[in-house]
């Protein structure tokens, strides 16, 4: 099919990656850009039908408009030898179906997978694109514990495309809503129902309707007969409640949008309170709690202290004695104070004369001055 120049003169086709009811996916190589790609080819039996070709092209263009980290990107679209093809990004890794086969998946991992799938669906639904075929085989992973990407966006199956193979019909029907199975047109609700079925399979290790017989499977889906997820040992009750609501038999009890289901998966958000004042310090019960002082109170106390200090200083200056009021401390002579008149004769008080202190000179006293004893030279007569 590829010819000497490859598919569309650009892409080399290699091994088969998967086969669906409408197309097959091949491993490819972009010779122009030198990168690995995945090429989806419409089945030859459907390629001869104008309605199938128009639907394939229309949905390929719709998928190419979607850009999201959880959506497989579409690079190119074309025809080769009368066969339409879509070129998509090639992801290293496996599908979610492979991860389910490796054993039980932790609840937090289940929440992450469902949240990323719903994030991709939210973008697609906002663009008017309904996936119509959400299932583990169409959810690619980058490895155990890695992120997921939804493939085959907008590649809707025709009314009887699923009847080409019984196995494909059973595999697809297991994720089909009761309304869609009853003949109602596909809608956003069908994608959300399919996400719930995928979640059930991730938790329980099998889909809620595991019947292999087509008629038995259809009957179980139409009547909502499945084992409650809460009966699974070790299941997270909150996660089980979200999944059970998504696959409720009554469509009025289900989620109405991908964002609504994402919010339910995230759970209630904690209430955030904003405090305008700082917290008081935590003190042990054995000690008294310190009283918090406001900055304004500190300023007032400081001002009062300054004023008190100024008043004390002024009073101290006013009470200090001056030189006019100070008593004399020295004199050259002492005269006894006058005696008050009395009938008793006063006793005579000898007068005392205080001699002034003479300064001490380094070379001795000057001539003619002594201290009561004349040590100077005697007169020679």
Give the CATH number, domain containing residue 34.
3.30.200.20
111 and 255 together in one domain: yes
- Among 266, 300, 323, the domain-final residue is 266
In a domain, 65, yes or no: yes
- d(CA 141, CA 152) in angstroms, rounded, equals 14
Whole-angstrom CA distances from 120 to 65, 116, 124 are: 13, 6, 6
Total count of residues recorded for the chain: 381
Please indicate, yes or no, whether residues 51 and 121 belong to a single structural domain of this protein. no
Residues in CB range of 187: below 8 A, 6 or more apart:
130
- State how far the Cα of 298 lies from the Cα of 215, in Å rounded to an integer: 85
In a shared domain, residues 102 and 85: no
Looking at residue 170, its pLDDT comes to: 38
Against a cut of 0.85, is the pTM above it? Answer: no
Domain that holds residue 226: 96-266
CATH number of the CATH domain containing 217: 1.10.510.10
> Does residue 249 share a domain with residue 105?
yes
174 token code pair? 């297991």
**Residue that terminates a domain, selected from 54, 89, 124:** 89
Quote the number of domains for the chain.
2
Where is the domain boundary, 206, 241, 266?
A: 266
Q: Please enumerate, by residue number, every residue annotated as part of a binding site for ATP.
A: 40
Please, are residues 149 and 139 in contact by the beta-carbon 8 Å criterion?
Answer: yes
| Beta bridge partners of residue 18, listed in sequence order | 25
| 121 and 46 inside one domain | no
What residues act catalytically?
Answer: 133
Note down pLDDT in tens along the chain; length 381 residues. 455 568 989 999 999 988 877 788 999 999 999 999 999 999 888 877 888 888 888 878 888 889 999 999 999 999 888 889 999 999 887 899 999 988 889 999 999 999 999 999 999 999 988 988 899 999 999 877 789 999 887 554 433 333 333 333 334 799 999 999 998 988 999 999 999 999 999 999 999 999 989 999 999 999 998 999 988 877 899 999 999 999 999 999 999 999 999 999 998 755 555 555 555 555 545 555 555 555 667 677 788 887 888 888 878 777 766 544 444 444 444 445 555 544 445 455 555 444 554 555 555 555 555 554 444 444 444
Which of 232, 11, 231, 239 lies closest to 110, judged by CA? 239
Quick one: 81 and 202 in the same domain?
no
**In terms of DSSP bridges, do strands 148-150 and 139-141 run parallel, antiparallel, or are they unpaired?**
antiparallel
Q: Are residues 76 and 121 in the same domain?
A: no
> Which 3 state secondary structure label does DSSP give 15?
strand
Q: Are residues 181 and 55 in the same domain?
A: no
Residue by residue, DSSP assigns 55-113 as HHHHHHHHHHT---TTBPPEEEEEEETTEEEEEEEPPSS-BHHHHHHTS---HHHHHHH
CA distances from 319 to 84, 185, 312, 325 (A): 114, 107, 11, 12
Residue ranges at the known binding site:
40
Residue 374 is assigned to a structural domain of this protein: no
């Amino acid at each position: 099919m590829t010819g000497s120049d490859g598919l569309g003169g650009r892409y080399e086709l290699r091994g088969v990656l998967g086969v669906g009811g409408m197309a097959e996916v091949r491993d490819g190589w972009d010779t122009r850009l030198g990168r690995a790609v995945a090429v989806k080819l419409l089945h030859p039996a459907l390629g001869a039908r104008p309605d199938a070709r128009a639907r394939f092209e229309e949905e390929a263009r719709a998928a190419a408009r979607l850009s999201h980290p959880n959506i497989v990107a579409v690079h190119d679209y074309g025809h080769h030898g009368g066969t339409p093809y879509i070129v998509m990004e090639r992801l290293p890794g496996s599908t979610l179906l492979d991860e389910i086969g490796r054993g039980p998946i932790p609840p937090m991992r289940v929440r992450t997978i469902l949240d990323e799938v719903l994030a991709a669906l939210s973008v697609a639904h906002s663009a008017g694109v309904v996936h119509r075929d959400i299932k583990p085989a169409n959810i690619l992973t980058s490895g155990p514990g890695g992120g997921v990407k939804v493939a085959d966006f907008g590649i809707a199956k025709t009314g009887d495309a699923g009847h080409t193979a019984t196995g494909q019909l059973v595999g697809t029907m297991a994720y089909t809503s009761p309304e869609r199975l009853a003949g109602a047109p596909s809608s956003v609700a069908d994608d959300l129902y399919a996400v719930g079925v995928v979640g059930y399979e991730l938790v329980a290790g099998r889909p809620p309707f595991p019947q292999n017989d087509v008629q038995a499977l259809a009957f179980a889906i139409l009547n909502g007969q499945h084992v409650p997820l809460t009966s699974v040992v070790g299941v997270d009750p909150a996660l089980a409640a979200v999944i059970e609501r998504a696959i409720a038999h009554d469509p009025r009890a289900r989620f109405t949008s991908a964002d609504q289901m994402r919010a339910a998966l995230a759970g209630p958000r904690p209430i955030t309170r904003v405090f305008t004042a700082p917290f008081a310090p935590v003190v042990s019960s054995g000690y008294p709690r310190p009283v918090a002082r406001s900055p304004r109170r500190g300023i007032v106390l400081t001002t009062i202290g300054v004023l008190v200090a100024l008043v004390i200083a002024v009073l101290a200056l006013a009470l200090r004695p001056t030189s006019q009021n100070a008593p004399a401390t020295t004199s050259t002579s002492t005269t006894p104070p006058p005696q008050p008149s009395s009938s008793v004769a006063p006793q005579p008080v000898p007068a005392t004369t205080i001699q002034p202190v003479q300064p001490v000179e380094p070379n001795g006293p000057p001539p003619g001055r002594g201290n009561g004893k004349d040590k100077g030279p005697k007169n020679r007569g």
